[in-house]
């Protein structure tokens, strides 16, 4: 059979309230055109994030009933630890309430002011946690990633030559090198095993620990199996183990390929680092056998990590994201090519090429997508990454103006995806009438979460 179906049937449903355009226009005004302020029950298809928004399986819900909520020594922790050790292979497994908590504890343990941390591309919380301790986060994406429309199988790779130069002549101490799989900041693009092997070897040669930001490790493993010579037919569990065997530790948000609604962990093979991290964990997250999670959350993750490695699940997930990407391209929407593992990134600057950068094409598109069809996306452009100088008011724009359509796991069906494609086709037909956006009010940091916007006045024809 050629049709790739959702490899599950639905046992429990959550109704979607069909908001209408007038209501959504009013909500947009009230929210200052900031989609983070829209009540979620007015959203028809929510593609804000794939993080913590997925559906759990019957097996996960069943396991949750076995959750043991003991403060210390919970058997739920033992099952969680056994699953993480089995797949990831690291000696120490430290549970945290989500990925950024793992990042914060790692930064406080391994980094000092003036240090430099390379990554293919830091996710924003990773960067923020590195900068919060006075270190510098350096992005080293591979050259192929610069061209949005170029097809390359592993656009998530780290630039090995740039990494080698940095390791040979660092402007500060490099206490750890990260690679993010898949590269969310770079379009959900995968990293090849060959690239991981080479990065790991460089780090070993320079005596620097090599870590993975493992949030979407199973999607990355599937891409390796699909695209890298020599991995055809290799079980995803085996590919994942080979990826992690190259590393000295990892940070993980279980809200992605842990298939859970909350949770994360931090792993290391270094006894001394682990001891310090566990001390910090007790201070802010909780005792090392629960780390800010309920025992039932640990159970859900222990089951979910294996479900993410189910080839039928990954085949369907990749087919679904790919289908969205191909059909958007067919209706004339420029996207970052090829489609990533968890999301499609629309090139809003190209799509709304009548808008100047100070009218924020990404924000303008995401506002119009919600108004038109009740679809929530997220701007990844100058609203998120640009900066306004508080003294001069001068604006530094981001390199790209993207809108991310992140697909929650096992949550929407093919017809929801078709609905998104139809909405884009209609917007494409009238794209030049989509108004720009201006910023009315903004905080100094992380402005996308709380800024207020207004529609820009239409430009004279
Ligand atoms: N690393 C990557 C690559 C991520 O994508 C995220 C979260 C984190 C770390 C932090 O994990 O949210 O559990 O604290 N990404 C979400 C997103 C929020 O929408 O891409 P967290």
Residue 4 lies in a domain: no
- Per DSSP, the three-state class of 254 is coil
Residue 5 lies in a domain: no
CA of 186 relative to ligand 1 center, distance in Å: 13
- Find the mean pLDDT for residues 32-57: 98
Q: Ligand 1 pocket: which of 46, 107, 125 to mutate (most atoms <8 Å of CB)?
A: 125
The CATH number of whichever domain residue 343 belongs to comes to 3.90.1150.10
Q: Work out the pLDDT band at 389, boundaries 50, 70, 90.
A: confident
The CATH number of whichever domain residue 204 belongs to comes to 3.40.640.10
- Find the mean pLDDT for residues 53-60: 98
In the prediction, which pLDDT does 460 show? 62
CA of 319 relative to ligand 1 center, distance in Å: 23
Could you report the per-residue pLDDT of 4-31, keeping only the tens digit for each? 999 999 999 999 999 999 999 999 999 9
Q: Please report, for residues 152, 215, 272, the alpha-carbon distance to residue 268 in angstroms, rounded to integers and kept in the order given.
A: 32, 16, 10
Residue 1 lies in a domain: no
Q: Are 89 and 80 in contact (CB under 8 A)?
A: no
Q: Are residues 194 and 321 in the same domain?
A: no
Q: Phi first, then psi: what are they for 111, rounded to 5°?
A: -110, 150
pLDDT at 459 over 90: no
Between CA 334 and CA 305 the distance in angstroms is: 33
In the prediction, which pLDDT does 12 show? 95
CA of 261 relative to ligand 1 center, distance in Å: 12
Quick one: how many helices (H) and strands (E) in the chain?
A: 17, 16
Q: Are residues 266 and 380 in the same domain?
A: no
CA of 333 relative to ligand 1 center, distance in Å: 26
Residue 2 lies in a domain: no
Could you report the per-residue pLDDT of 172-213, keeping only the tens digit for each? 999 999 999 999 988 999 999 999 999 999 999 999 999 999
Beta bridge partners of residue 94, listed in sequence order: 266
Atom of ligand 1 nearest to the CA of 48: 19
- Find the mean pLDDT for residues 311-318: 98
Q: Ligand 1 pocket: which of 217, 253, 406 to mutate (most atoms <8 Å of CB)?
A: 253
Nearest CA to ligand 1 atom 8: 99
Residue 6 lies in a domain: no
pLDDT at 387 over 90: no
Q: Are 183 and 121 in contact (CB under 8 A)?
A: yes
Q: Are residues 239 and 329 in the same domain?
A: no
> Worst-scoring range by mean pLDDT, 34-38, 43-47, 439-443?
439-443
* Domain extent for 332: 21-50+310-455
Q: Which residue has the higher pLDDT, 180 or 460?
A: 180
Considering 290, 307, 324, which residue would you say is the last residue of a domain? 307
Q: Are residues 181 and 289 in the same domain?
A: yes
The average confidence (pLDDT) of the chain is 96
pLDDT at 220 over 80: yes
CA of 266 relative to ligand 1 center, distance in Å: 14
| Domain tally, the chain | 2
Q: Are residues 145 and 253 in the same domain?
A: yes
Q: Are residues 31 and 150 in the same domain?
A: no
- Per DSSP, the three-state class of 308 is coil
Atom of ligand 1 nearest to the CA of 183: 3
pLDDT at 445 over 80: no
In the prediction, which pLDDT does 461 show? 56
Considering 264, 288, 307, which residue would you say is the last residue of a domain? 307
Atom of ligand 1 nearest to the CA of 254: 13
Could you report the per-residue pLDDT of 241-281, keeping only the tens digit for each? 999 999 999 999 999 999 999 999 999 999 999 999 999 99
CA of 253 relative to ligand 1 center, distance in Å: 6
Which helix (DSSP H) or strand (DSSP E) does residue 63 occupy? helix 58-64
Residue 117 lies in a domain: yes
Nearest CA to ligand 1 atom 2: 123
Nearest CA to ligand 1 atom 15: 51
- Per DSSP, the three-state class of 126 is helix
Which helix (DSSP H) or strand (DSSP E) does residue 238 occupy? helix 236-245
Q: Are 437 and 360 in contact (CB under 8 A)?
A: yes
Q: Are 340 and 322 in contact (CB under 8 A)?
A: no
Residue 460 lies in a domain: no
Q: Are residues 186 and 112 in the same domain?
A: yes
Q: Are residues 25 and 72 in the same domain?
A: no
Beta bridge partners of residue 403, listed in sequence order: 346, 379
Q: Ligand 1 pocket: which of 181, 220, 256 to mutate (most atoms <8 Å of CB)?
A: 256
Q: Are residues 285 and 398 in the same domain?
A: no
Q: Are strands 210-213 and 177-180 parallel, antiparallel or unpaired?
A: parallel
Residue written as tokens 């990533």?
340
Cα angle 297, 303, 306 (rounded to 5 degrees) comes to: 135
Measured from CB, residues less than 6 Å from any atom of ligand 1 are 49, 51, 98-100, 123, 125-126, 180, 184, 213, 215, 253, 255, 264
Q: Are residues 278 and 321 in the same domain?
A: no
Atom of ligand 1 nearest to the CA of 98: 13
Which helix (DSSP H) or strand (DSSP E) does residue 413 occupy? none
Q: Work out the pLDDT band at 335, boundaries 50, 70, 90.
A: very high
Could you report the per-residue pLDDT of 120-160, keeping only the tens digit for each? 999 989 999 999 999 999 999 999 999 999 999 999 999 99
Q: Work out the pLDDT band at 443, boundaries 50, 70, 90.
A: confident
Q: Are residues 240 and 375 in the same domain?
A: no
Q: Which of 24, 59, 70, 63 is nearest to 44 (CA)?
A: 24
Residue 26, Cβ density class (10 Å: 0-12 exposed, 13-18 middle, ≥19 buried): exposed
Could you report the per-residue pLDDT of 79-128, keeping only the tens digit for each? 999 999 999 999 999 999 999 999 999 999 999 999 999 999 999 899 99
Q: Are residues 152 and 262 in the same domain?
A: yes
Considering 258, 274, 307, which residue would you say is the last residue of a domain? 307
Neighbours of 234 (CB within 10 A): 15
Q: Please report, for residues 138, 144, 329, 354, the alpha-carbon distance to residue 197 in angstroms, rounded to integers and kept in the order given.
A: 20, 19, 34, 44
Residue 16 lies in a domain: no
**Does the reported pTM lie above 0.95?**
yes
Between CA 254 and CA 95 the distance in angstroms is: 10
């Amino acid at each position: 059979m050629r049709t790739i179906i959702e490899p599950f049937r639905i046992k429990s449903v959550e109704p979607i309230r069909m908001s209408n355009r007038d209501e959504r226009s009013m909500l947009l005004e009230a929210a200052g055109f900031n989609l983070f302020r829209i009540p979620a029950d007015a959203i028809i298809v929510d593609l804000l994030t794939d993080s913590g928004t997925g559906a759990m399986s019957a097996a996960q819900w069943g396991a949750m009933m076995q959750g043991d909520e003991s403060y210390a020594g919970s058997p739920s922790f033992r099952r969680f630890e056994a699953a993480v050790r089995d797949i990831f292979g690291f000696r120490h497994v430290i549970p945290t309430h989500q990925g950024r908590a793992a990042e914060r504890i790692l930064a406080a343990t391994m980094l000092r002011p003036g240090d430099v941390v390379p990554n293919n591309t830091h996710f924003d919380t990773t960067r923020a946690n590195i900068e919060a301790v006075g270190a510098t986060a350096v992005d080293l994406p591979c050259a192929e990633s610069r061209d949005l429309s170029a097809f390359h199988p592993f656009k998530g790779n780290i630039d090995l030559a740039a990494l080698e130069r940095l390791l040979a002549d660092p402007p500060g101490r490099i206490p750890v090198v990260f690679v993010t799989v898949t590269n969310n900041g770079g379009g959900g693009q995968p990293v090849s095993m060959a690239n991981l092997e080479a990065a790991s070897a460089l780090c070993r040669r320079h005596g620097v620990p090599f870590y993975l930001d493992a949030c979407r490790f199973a999607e990355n493993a599937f891409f390796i199996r699909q695209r890298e010579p020599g991995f055809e037919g290799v079980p995803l569990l085996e590919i994942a183990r080979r990826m992690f065997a190259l590393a000295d530790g990892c940070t993980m948000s279980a809200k992605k390929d842990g298939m859970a609604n909350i949770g994360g962990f931090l792993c290391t093979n270094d006894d001394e680092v682990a001891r310090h991290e566990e001390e910090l964990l007790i201070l802010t997250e909780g005792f090392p056998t629960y780390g800010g999670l309920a025992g039932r959350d640990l159970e859900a993750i222990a089951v979910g990590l294996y479900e993410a490695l189910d080839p039928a699940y990954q085949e369907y997930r990749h087919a679904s994201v790919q289908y969205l990407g191909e059909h958007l391209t067919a209706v004339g929407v420029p996207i970052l090519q090829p489609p990533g593992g968890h999301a499609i990134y629309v090139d809003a600057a190209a799509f709304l090429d009548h808008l100047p950068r100070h009218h924020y094409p990404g924000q303008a598109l995401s506002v119009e997508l919600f108004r038109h069809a009740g679809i929530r996306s997220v701007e990844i452009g100058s609203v998120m990454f640009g900066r306004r100088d508080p003294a001069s008011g001068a604006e530094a724009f981001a390199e790209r103006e993207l809108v991310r359509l992140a697909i929650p796991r096992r949550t929407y069906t093919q017809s929801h995806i078709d609905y998104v494609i139809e909405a884009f086709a209609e917007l494409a037909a009238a794209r030049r009438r989509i108004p720009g956006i201006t910023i009315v009010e903004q905080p100094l940091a992380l402005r996308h979460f709380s800024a207020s916007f207004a529609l820009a006045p239409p430009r004279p024809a």
